[in-house]
Amino acid sequence: MKRRVVVTGIGAVSPVGNDAKTAWENVIAGQSGVGSLTRLDPEQFSAKVAAEIKDFDIEKYIERKEARKMDRFTHYALASAMMAVEDAQLKIDETNADRVGVWIGSGIGGMETFEKQFETFQKRGYRRVSPFFVPMMIPDMATGQVSIYLGAKGVNSCTVTACATGTNSIGDAFKVIQRGDADAMIAGGAEAPITQMSYAGFCANTALTTNPDPNTASRPFDLNRDGFVIGEGAGIVILEELEQALKRGAKIYAEVVGYGSTGDAYHITAPAPGGEGGARAMQMAIQDGGLRPEDVQYINAHGTSTAYNDKYETMAVKTVFGDHARQLAISSTKSMTGHLLGAAGGVEAIFTVMAIKEGILPPTINYETPDPDCDLDYVPNESRRAEITAAISNSLGFGGHNATLAFKKYE
């Protein structure tokens, strides 16, 4: 007997807001978080824009001394997790700590820490490398620190599946509760990739847009898209077993009903032709959730603003939904947040459950010139009122990772 799982708390640090409520309000208003690159010298790179976190202060959450022992991706995860637990009004103490788990992933982990400490090593030798270097850098430390600070002693894990990380993390956490290994999970993704080497790497493989105008740089599904805008942040949800959530009177954003995870077995960066792997992930999530394709009304697309991704994701949607594809509303909130890599799935899961709860579809902004290969309803430029009873969120990652979450309005 599968246990039912619901979302009872949300927390985010994002380019469009440093809490989930602000981020959601800005997204439905079509407000972009993309700006000119400031963390790095833009003259060194072909890409000139980024979706950076602004006005974030980790000392609102932890002491400066402790913050200095963490990479920024862990700062974002810890703040988001604290906000999500507070939003859920979930008390973690000796009575339930071993039944509350943490599953937070990161695509590249503490890259900034790695770069700074390597520079120290080169200039001053190994004795001057921080003793906290390794625990600051490794991707699982966001999960580790959240567990330590919040006292969650249950299932404790970290997924690293590139841009599918956040969605895989929430999906795997969902399954932990569903099979009875935990009663609540703190789950999502965190990333701080705007660093010299990661930015250089994405520029070198021509993944990033070279459009220097922040206002139009991220344009998923538009004919004139030319690459994604890199972003940073974290998105964390609180998942709970339904009966426990009801017993303690928790508010419920939506029910998680399905999860699909597949591999392309095709190429290290390019998606499989036709979005074959993504189509199977969507089919798995829909079937796992006991849904029919025609039950789904909204898709929060991976929608990176790259040529192949947007085209093949559109093809995958048509494969899965057939004629119903033209009745679906699809949006890429990356048009406003940029691409948060391992954190994308966490933030986009939040936007998906909010779309269900509030009955508002976030837009795909900068959609100006239709692409004949991308000919579905992408909720262009303005949000839209709609009654949503079932929705899915897609994430696709380097290495051929595909992940989909299916959500329903809680009844």
Checking 243-250 for CB contacts under 8 A at 24+ apart, the result is: 243/3, 243/4, 244/183, 244/184, 245/6, 245/8, 248/89, 250/6, 250/8, 250/88, 250/89, 250/90
DSSP code string of 71-130: -HHHHHHHHHHHHHHHHHT---STTTGGGEEEEEE-SS-SHHHHHHHHHHHHHH-GGGS-
pLDDT 10s digits, 231-257: 999 999 999 999 999 999 999 999 999
Question: Which pLDDT tens digit goes with each residue over 109-127?
Answer: 999 999 999 999 999 999 9
| 318/211 Cα distance (integer angstroms) | 30
**Cα 389 to the center of its chain, rounded Å:** 21
Predicted confidence (pLDDT) at residue 135 exceeds the cutoff of 90? yes
pLDDT digits (tens, 9 = 90+) for 38-47: 999 999 999 9
> What is the CATH topology of the domain spanning 5-247?
Peroxisomal Thiolase; Chain A, domain 1 (3.40.47)
What CATH code is assigned to 257-406?
A: 3.40.47.10
Average pLDDT on 9-13 reads 98
Q: What does the pLDDT look like over 198-236, one tens digit per residue?
A: 999 999 999 999 999 999 999 999 999 999 999 999 999
Task: Note the pLDDT tens digit of each residue in 20-73.
Answer: 999 999 999 999 999 999 999 999 999 999 999 999 999 999 999 999 999 999
Q: Matching CATH topology for 5-247 and 257-406? A: yes
Q: What is the pLDDT of residue 45?
A: 98
Give the pLDDT confidence score for residue 375 in this predicted structure: 97
For residue 343, what are its two tokens? 């954190």
Which pair of tokens denotes residue 26?
Answer: 């800005």
Check residue 1 and give its pLDDT: 81
pTM of the predicted protein model: 0.98
Share of the chain above pLDDT 90, in %: 100
Domain positions in the chain are 5-247, 257-406
Mean pLDDT, rounded, for 187-207: 97
The predicted pLDDT at position 344 comes to 98
Strand pairing of 233-241 and 5-13?
antiparallel
The Cα–Cα gap between 316 and 303 comes to: 12
pLDDT tens per residue, range 170-179: 999 999 999 9
Active site residues: 163
